[in-house]
Structure 1
Amino acid sequence: MWKVVEVDFSAVFEASPVAVSILSPGWEYVAVNGAYERLTGWSRERLVGRNVFEVFPGGRSGRSAEQLRESLERVVTAAEVDTMPLQRYDTEEPEQAGTFHERYWSILNAPVLGPDRGVALVINRVEEVTGFIQRLREADTDTDTGANAGGDTLAEALVARTRAIEAELFVRARELQEVNRRLRDAREHERQAAVAARRALRRQQQAVADTSHDLRGPLAGLQTRLESALTDPDADSREILHAALHDAERIGDIVSDLLELARLEANTPLRTQRVDLAHLARTETARRAESHRLPDVSVTVDAEDGVEVDASPVRLARLLNNLLDNAERHARSRVHVTVARDGEHAVMDVTDDGPGIPASERENVFDRFYRGADTRRSDPGGTGLGLAIARQIALAHHGTLHIADQTPGTRFTLRLPLHRPDGSTP
């Protein structure tokens, strides 16, 4: 039975018959083994601490060095092994600057991961195949000589065979490089798909948790009021029913908003038509003014006529009303809506003169159920889904919705592609 012993990996590295060097992510030599010294003719004392491309510039053309650099960069970026099956890389005489020798190599570069899972070192394994290439060429030369001596048929056959072997070698090397590239691409696609799946799962889990949290309050209130009505014969049933109705409406609002958000996130195709944003802004603000709940807040509109987009008017009205609801909750006295052209886009701004939103929270407000402390105080009945729905409506129309710099207050900026007469999409 084999006895488990402690392995001296430095001794294993040094005893390896294959030439190996260890490089930093900046391509400086960290260590080399004896086989590497013998193969290159450079001692470790002269290599360690120096950049590999300083020691081995790769010949006058620089193309070989460029290919090696690309391979090393792929290793550091993807944290995966990269193979260069057949590579010409001329080397310089250690004591004769500018004197290069034509040499061919099979190179493999592999990552060594650090504690943070980033690439801390690169293993550079090299095997020389110059002798094989030279023998092929010598055989080619010999057969040419044989042809001159009169053995034309045999010589031609040998030449053809030699060249076929050489061509096959290069073809297979290129095929292997292509396979490696495809494998890298497949791994990258697989990694991206896994990341997207994990994010989707986290979003789903968070959505379930958030929904449960927001539904728990009104459901508990509804249950408590109904229990009170059943157990207390002196309770005011009309008051209890009004409160229960309020809780039921709150539950209905949350469920309705969640269904709308789900439809938007499912990328359901929209039925669009030409919509005049100026007309939409004036119509919606006038409608709200007739049943305004906040008499201390004025809403004004400054809209450029003829700014048209291809959109669902119902969805755009929902987006605008969600922004106006949010602006009115935070405004001190005024909300201002503007509509204008900007190049090939229509731009709608909804601005309030409230306290504003810190830059660190500007993206958070578009998360479902996100509600700041001031929002919970000013509008405890809100669902926390209005801005999430507004952004999804913008995205469904190939547009964007973000918070722009504004002092004082907050400015939401909606950008949508202008209507195209040919009906094409951006």
Structure 2
Amino acid sequence: MTSVDYAAAFDAVPAACAVLSSDLVYLGVNRAYERVLERPRGQLLGHQIFEVFPGGPSGQGVQELRASLERVLAEGDVDVMALVRYDVQVAGEPGNYEERYWAAVNAPMLGPDGRVACVINRVEEVTAYIQQLRSAGAAEEWSPADQVEAAEAELFLRAQELQEANRRLRRARRRERQATAAARAALRRQQQVVADTSHDLRRPLTGLQTRLQVALTDPQADSRQVLHAALQDAERLGDIVSDLLELARLEGNAPFPTEPVDLSALVAAELARSDLACATTVDITAGIVVEGSAVRLARVLSNLLSNADRHATSLVQVKVFQRDEQAFVEVADDGPGIPANEREAVFQRFYRRADARSSDPEGTGLGLPIARQIARAHHGDLDIADRPGGTCMILRLPCTPP
């Protein structure tokens, strides 16, 4: 089979073509490109395209070309430029520009990783066509100057309409890609939820099934003890299902009734109700009010307090304060803490660290994900502070204007 010298083939292509880097620097041009642009390749290679061709004083065409090249780099699609004016400086005459008209196609060249490595810039000069229109108008008595100008205007109008249609198509394609990406992400989340739920439900279901089989097959089994254990498994199943339903409602942005809530009083009430085993220090600024659901916010506070009490060595610290227009609730413990690389993971559904599984084997692994979703449903957030020793959870909520 005859081998092909692709470099020579590129140089012989009759269409004016150039290869630009991702920084829009000339990497290669063919002879037709040198001829059409009236520049030897020595003046082009290694230089940025807008350095060599900055455009004339009118500035026409520069923005269109830059936008086209950037679209190719960003989207990896061919971009067609309709008729555009792009003046070129006369060689050897700085500041003197010729009025030039072009049609261009910019195409991506992908690298081994599938990303855009270079851009192929193919240009075709159509200045002569415009000049013919003008000369025809001047030569024919029946074709006055205003008719020539009208023809030029019509030509530009159609070109601009084509460019606008291309822009609309690009916007529609971008929206379609975004919608597709969102749908795929939602599908992945749903698949993960199904997998996580199946995994977490399997244990209590298996336990329930085993206990019932024992009750049926072993006449010596203590039926009351079996039923009590089965009831515990059923209650755990109910807890998991309830938490999943609550999380689904929160992630679905289902509306819920709100009212002004005295956050300071709510924290104090939850502290009194929780009856923490560890010593507790409390610093609450009175009168901090937020808009929200007292029931859901109480659930967040209960979760934070119980987690801190469970993991603390000897002390839980609770602080409520206001900064600017934000209310903050900090719940800290002096326990082992959470490594930085796991601080986001604990907000994923069913994620449970080893120490959490040992200290609270009946937990569902949904408490913190639900707490964060409740905070975000109230236009706030729940995060873990970066501090040495222990864990500090920070609940942030917007304050209600006085």
TM-score, length of structure 2 as denominator length: 0.93
Deviation at 1:96, TM superposition (A): 4.5
1:8 positional shift: 6.1
Alignment of 1:114 with 2:108, yes or no, is no
- Post-superposition Cα deviations, 1:26-49, rounded to whole Å, max 9, x if no partner, equal 112222222112211223344333
Query: Is 1:338 matched with 2:319?
Result: yes
Moved more, 396-405 or 268-277: 396-405
1:111-190 pair list within 5 angstroms: 111-142=108-139, 154=142, 158-190=144-176
Distance 1:277 1:7 in 2: 76
Contact residue 274 and residue 306 of structure 2 kept, 8 A: no
Counterpart selection for 1:32 from 22, 29, 32: 29
C-alpha separation between the residues in 1 aligned to 2:133 and 2:325? 63
Q: Deviation per CA, 1:106-150, whole angstroms, max 9, x where unpaired? A: 12211112222211010101111111222233344456xx5xxxx
Q: Percent identity?
A: 59
Report matched runs for 1:183-202 at 5 Å.
183-202=169-188
3-state SS of 2:396 partner: strand
Counterpart of 1:251 in structure 2 is 237
Q: Does 1:102 align with 2:91?
A: no
1:359 and 2:340 correspond:
yes
Q: Which moved more, 1:178-187 or 1:271-280?
A: 178-187
Q: CA deviation at 1:398?
A: 1.3
Report whether the alignment pairs 1:227 with 2:213: yes
Q: Which residue of 2 aligns with 1:397?
A: 378
The 1-side partners of 2:47 and 2:115 are apart by 22
Amino acid at match of 2:18: S
Which residue identity does 1:59 align to in structure 2? G
Alignment of 1:222-371 (within 5 A): 222-289=208-275, 292=276, 295=277, 297-371=278-352
Q: Distance in 1 between matches of 2:61 and 2:145?
A: 28
1:62: how far off? 5.1
1-side partners of 2:145 and 2:98: how far apart? 26
> Tell me, what secondary structure is at the counterpart of 2:32?
helix
Answer yes or no: is the 8 Å Cα contact 1:281–1:301 preserved in 2.
no
Q: Tell me, what secondary structure is at the counterpart of 1:271?
A: coil
Supply the AA of the counterpart residue of 2:311: H
Contact 1:285 1:299 in 2 (8 A): no
* Greater displacement, 39-48 / 201-210: 39-48
Unpaired runs of 5+ in structure 1? 147-153, 422-426
1:206 matched to 2:174: no
CA RMSD of aligned residues (A): 2.1
Alignment correspondent of 1:149: none
What TM-score do the two structures reach when normalised by structure 1?
0.88
Conserved in 2, the CA contact under 8 Å of 1:323 and 1:350?
A: yes
Runs of 5+ consecutive residues of structure 2 not aligned to the other structure: none
Distance in 2, Cα, partners of 1:255 & 1:54: 64
**Paired residue total:** 402
The residue that corresponds to 2:38 in the other structure is 41
**AA aligned opposite 2:112:** P
Aligned partner of residue 307 in structure 2, secondary structure: helix
Q: Distance in 2 between matches of 1:42 and 1:311?
A: 68
C-alpha distance in structure 2 between counterparts of 1:66 and 1:359, whole Å: 45
Q: How far 1:60 moved relative to its partner?
A: 4.3
Paired residues of 2:274 and 2:305 also in contact (CA < 8 A): no
Partner of 2:20 in structure 1?
23
Q: What secondary structure does 2:220 align onto?
A: coil
Q: Distance in 1 between matches of 2:177 and 2:262?
A: 44
| More divergent stretch after superposition (252-261 vs 299-308) | 299-308
Which AA in structure 1 matches 2:218?
A: D
1:221 is displaced (CA, Å) by 1.1
- Partners of 2:105 and 2:396 lie apart in 1 by 50
Q: The residue matched to 1:258 in structure 2 has which SS? A: helix
Instruction: In structure 1, give the amino acid aligned to 2:300.
Output: L
**How many angstroms apart in 2 are the aligned matches of 1:260 and 1:6?**
67
Q: Match of 1:192, as an amino acid?
A: Q
Which region of structure 1 is more displaced relative to structure 2, 37-46 or 377-386?
37-46
CA distance in 1, matches of 2:6, 2:161: 34
**CA offsets per residue over residues 64-120 of structure 1, 9 Å max, x none?**
444422321222122222232122222234444444322111122111122222110
State whether residues 260 and 290 of structure 2, in contact with CA within 8 Å, keep that contact through their aligned partners in structure 1: yes
